[in-house]
Structure 1
């Protein structure tokens, strides 16, 4: 199939959505599909207010239409609700082209945390955005239940996987000299931003050392406020995996993530998880003996120290990206390009012999 994926979230952003979509692209291509990603890299952009690391495409409508018509896909998937997602949605609705969408991020809660806009207003906008979608893909049952309470329908499951070759147990001393501090090491990996509730982790009274891996708009302010915390900045690839693996417990303070890919990456490295009992951790971990979910995050972090790293690794080995790709393909809505873009151009004549 020829598949178009439209996403406002793309490199150089470092987050679970970008890593999920990049993995999806690679695995679709490996299966023989033709894939075109429409991302902010093809447009003039401006920084997102309050979050300059995110780039927003300017006036994407014409280039969006030209790209889709040139590629002539038989599947259109809109991954995000930003300027590119809005432009692709408008184009598909205007032309009557079927498309699917995904719900990756709880934007209403994020906007409320930053600007105090009522959460109900945000979900009203998202209902409008997703209403024409043939399938709204979500990662967990918990998120599906929340969206149904907000009045969404046509919801389909699209789970996540983990690269267990990259994210694997490693010697705990492999970053000695790079990271300094007494054990145990409590690790957070993710955006350093208000919506991640990271202050709930940094303010805990825990023994040992807290380590924060990631960048974001709160990085400098939190670094100044918590001088005893080790902030190492953004990490990628093998370096990121090593920063997971040297820890003793992975602490996940977010209450708004729709999945939390970092949970699986930590578990694949042999780290037990401490988190709140909310959608995301509840769906990924549940009552498996690989993490502690408790409203007292500090107590959860201390209890997680006693969990078996081998059980964490074994749990992650059962979460395959191939299953994720199978679900994605079962959810999309293929169509005949000729029905919307006109007939295929004739093949060029064969060269003379």
Structure 2
């Protein structure tokens, strides 16, 4: 459901299953964007996914559908409230589905989603087309793991959406359930057992072990540093500003200029965070959720910068990563398999700078091809 104001705390996701029967459109003419959609005749509607991708229509993968929704809004044909001068919404229309299947059949499939939409927006989707827009709720990539799903830290296993192993393929045309189920049912029960089978040979440690002392001291030092700042800005304000930077410059479409700008902005924001963040409460004797969030936002600032660095490095368009400089004449993703057929695994060194490790992707039974949904 599209954003309706600057103070909105979160976006509500509508299931992409709605695209199975709903038709997505915007007005053909920008001047019609403010009209009641029911007053816009059929000949003045642009069912743009059906027009651009006739073979797949509204069932194109989510990165394609998201990017085209952004394009329509950037052209000035978006619908709904304007945020920073741009209306970010397109219509998802069930009129044809209701006529074809009947209202009861549509309600049986989507009734809970329709009810939720009406409670939030006040519009009845059985009568008025829904307004939708892409929202970030998932990041491709994750922690590096080996084939046992163990990270570079011995004993730390990373499963499901948190690791990098299947990302891309499992999100553009499916869901993360595939990875969670395969990791949880088939991989980890065997690999963790193998690891724990050797547990009796692990080194014995206690609170006086040097590594334990160092971990405790470094963690306490980080907490003390955050609590001592006593600045004027809330943790949430830094979180929100970082989100705006990532959405604007490292979102559905990226450019070299925008990514370089984002890296500079994030570095400035991180410097201000450690000078001006305000964390109420105490660090000892109580559960301080603001302190917990501050630690997470500090991590997000590092991760956001690394995502921009990685996107800047990969000078191609592939999967959910779309570089404006790398597209076909029709505006579709243009891959460069001769240069980028590898996993980019980044590691932070002792100096805090990320180092790139390339893991070649070798395909013996699959021919790499450019995606096409025309």
TM-score (norm 1): 0.25
TM-score (norm 2): 0.24
Q: Which has the higher strand share?
A: 1
**Over alpha carbons, which structure has the higher Rg?**
2
Which has the higher relative contact order, 1 or 2, with Cα contacts under 8 A spaced 6 or more apart?
1
